[in-house]
A and B are shown apart, each in its own frame.
Chain A
Amino acid sequence: MTGPFATIGRLGLSFFQELGGPVILARKTLFWVTIAPFRKRPAGFFNSPDTFRQAEAVGVKSIPIVLLVSSLIGTILVLQTAYQLEKFGQVRLVAQGVAVTLVRELGPLMTAIVLIGRVGSAFTAELGNMKINEEVLALDTMAINPVGWLVVPRALALAVMQPCLSIFSCLTGIFGGFLMGVGVFGIPPNVYIDQTIRGLVLQDIVSGLLKSLTFAVIISMICCYKGLAVQGGAEQVGEATRNSVVASLVLVIAADAVFTAVINVFF
Chain B
Amino acid sequence: MTDDNEKVPEKGSDELAAAKARAKATAERKLAESSVGKASTDDEKNETKTDDPRAEEPKAEEPKPEEPKADEPKPDAEPTKDEPKKDEPKKEEPAPAAAKRSSSRGKDRPPMIVVKGLKKSFGDRVILKDVNYEIERGKVVVIMGGSGSGKSTMLKCLIGAHPIDCGEIWLDGAQLSGPDVDHLDSTKRHVIWNDARRKFGVLFQSAALFGSMTVGENVALPIRFHTDLAEETIDIMVKMKLDQVGLGHAEDLLPSEISGGMAKRAGLARAIALDPKVIFYDEPSAGLDPIVVTVVDHLIKDLSKALGITSVVITHVMESAFRIADEIVMLYQGEVIFRGTPEECQASDDDRVKQFIAGEVPVRDEDELPAFLDDVL
A residues apposed to B, CB below 8 Å: 41, 43, 47, 50, 53, 130, 133-135, 137-138, 140-144
Contacts and interface: CB of A to CB of B under 8 A. Distances in A.
A142 B197 contact: yes
Query: Secondary structure of the A side of the interface?
Result: helix
B355 interface: no
B160 A138 contact: no
Given A142-B221, A144-B221, A137 B161 contact: yes
A141 B202 contact: yes
A143 B197 CA distance: 6
Contacts of B198: 143
A27 to B, nearest CB: 13
Interface in B156-180: 159-161
Contacts of A143: 193-194, 197-198, 225-226
B320 interface: no
Given A47-B225, A142-B222, A144-B222, A134 B205 contact: yes
Contacts of A43: 225
Contacts of B270: 142
B208 A137 contact: yes
Nearest to A129: B211
A141 B282 CA distance: 13
B210 interface: yes
Contacts of A144: 221-222, 225
Interface string B183-206: 000000000011001101110111
A140 B198 CA distance: 11
A139 to B, nearest CB: 9
B346 to A, nearest CB: 32
Given A43-B225, A47-B225, A134-B205, A141 B197 contact: yes
Contact of A134 (B194, B201, B208, B221): B208
Contact of A135 (B161, B201, B210): B210
B225 A138 contact: no
A138 B204 CA distance: 8
Interface string B317-335: 0000000000000000000
A148 to B, nearest CB: 10
21 contacts: A41-B226, A43-B225, A47-B225, A50-B212, A134-B204, A134-B208, A135-B210, A135-B211, A137-B161, A138-B208, A138-B210, A140-B161, A141-B159, A141-B161, A141-B200, A141-B202, A142-B222, A142-B270, A143-B193, A143-B194, A143-B226
Nearest to A47: B225
Interface in B16-46: none
B197 A137 contact: no
Given A134-B205, A135-B209, 15 more contacts: A47-B224, A135-B208, A135-B211, A137-B161, A137-B204, A138-B204, A138-B208, A140-B160, A140-B161, A141-B160, A142-B225, A143-B193, A143-B197, A143-B198, A144-B225
Contacts of B206: 133-134
A211 B216 CA distance: 42
Nearest to A140: B161
Contacts of B209: 135
Nearest to A43: B225
A177 B358 CA distance: 78
A231 to B, nearest CB: 12
Given A133-B208, A143-B197, A144-B221, A138 B226 contact: no
Contacts of A134: 204-206, 208
A43 B224 CA distance: 10
Contacts of A41: 226
Contacts of B208: 133-135, 137-138
Nearest to B195: A143
B272 to A, nearest CB: 12
A74 B313 CA distance: 63
Interface centre among A41, A47, A135 (most CB of B within 10 A): A135
A151 B222 CA distance: 18
Contacts of B197: 140-143
A245 B258 CA distance: 34
A242 B222 CA distance: 33
Nearest to B218: A138
Interface string B81-118: 00000000000000000000000000000000000000
Nearest to B191: A143
B202 A138 contact: yes
A157 B221 CA distance: 21
A133 B206 CA distance: 7
Contacts of B211: 135
B280 to A, nearest CB: 8
